[in-house]
Chain A
Amino acid sequence: AQSVSQHNHHVILSEAASLELGCNYSYGGTVNLFWYVQYPGQHLQLLLKYFSGDPLVKGIKGFEAEFIKSKFSFNLRKPSVQWSDTAEYFCAVNAQRYSTLTFGKGTMLLVSP
């Protein structure tokens, strides 16, 4: 069975600080990897995804993530966060593009102005 582990449940940063959110997964086969964001009062939105190819993936709003197969990791990064990045971030994995997603517990990011 797949599982996803997100290292930090809460992160507090000041504006312009750099962000890195950790995500590790457990699965023996080929996986697709995702980062979703849930802004306060809004629904889950896809930030970025990795299916294959270049392990460095760029998403919306300046976010990127790097897939390191040997470490079973898919960490999310942003060089300079903004107050509007305050949200909950979820890492997720599935084995096929349309198949069910296994989510981590989420990381709540609070960016102070």
Chain B
Amino acid sequence: DAGVTQSPTHLIKTRGQQVTLRCSPKSGHDTVSWYQQALGQGPQFIFQYYEEEERQRGNFPDRFSGHQFPNYSSELNVNALLLGDSALYLCASSSPWDEQYFGPGTRLTVT
């Protein structure tokens, strides 16, 4: 039983570019949450998707957007990248009867 998977593992982008990160949830999970973990900080909630809709959103600008597909997988898109967007992006999946399980993350570096 595969856990939460994320791709790519690492990514280097230039300021102003756009990036898409992908997440496949743990089998049986229908909810996907995205977090940003800056160096030396705890993960910060970006948004959560359930039934292909954004259910909750944290304090992140509109440059951060997402999508959930019918198979429950999800994408995180970031437009107009800034140096400050450099971080580890974590995906977590869950269900009403199970707590959140985290993927290995995607390390995004913006130069």
Instruction: List residues of A whose CB falls within 8 A of some B CB.
Output: 4, 32, 34, 36, 42-46, 49, 90, 92, 97-106
For chain B, what secondary structure do more than half of its interface residues adopt (helix, strand, loop), or is it mixed?
A: strand
* Residues of B close to A105: CB separation below 8 A: 40-42
B42 touches A100 (CB 8 A): no
CB < 8 Å neighbour of B99 from A49, A90, A103: A49
**Which of A4, A42, A97, A98 neighbours the largest number of chain B CB atoms within 10 Å of its CB?**
A98
B8 interface residue (CB < 8 Å to A)? no
B99 touches A97 (CB 8 A): yes
Mark interface residues in B16-27 (1 if CB within 8 Å of A CB, else 0): 000000000000
Closest 8 CB pairs of A and B: A103-B42, A44-B102, A43-B104, A98-B94, A100-B45, A105-B42, A103-B43, A106-B42
Q: Which residue of B lies closest to A106 (CB)?
A: B42
> How many Å lie between the Cα of A101 and that of B101 in the bound state?
11
* Residues of A close to B98: CB separation below 8 A: 97-98
Task: Give A30 Cβ to nearest chain B Cβ, in Å.
Answer: 15
> How many Å lie between the Cα of A69 and that of B35 in the bound state?
27
Task: Give B1 Cβ to nearest chain A Cβ, in Å.
Answer: 16
Q: Which of B20-70 contact A (CB under 8 A)?
A: 31, 33, 35, 40-45, 48, 56, 58
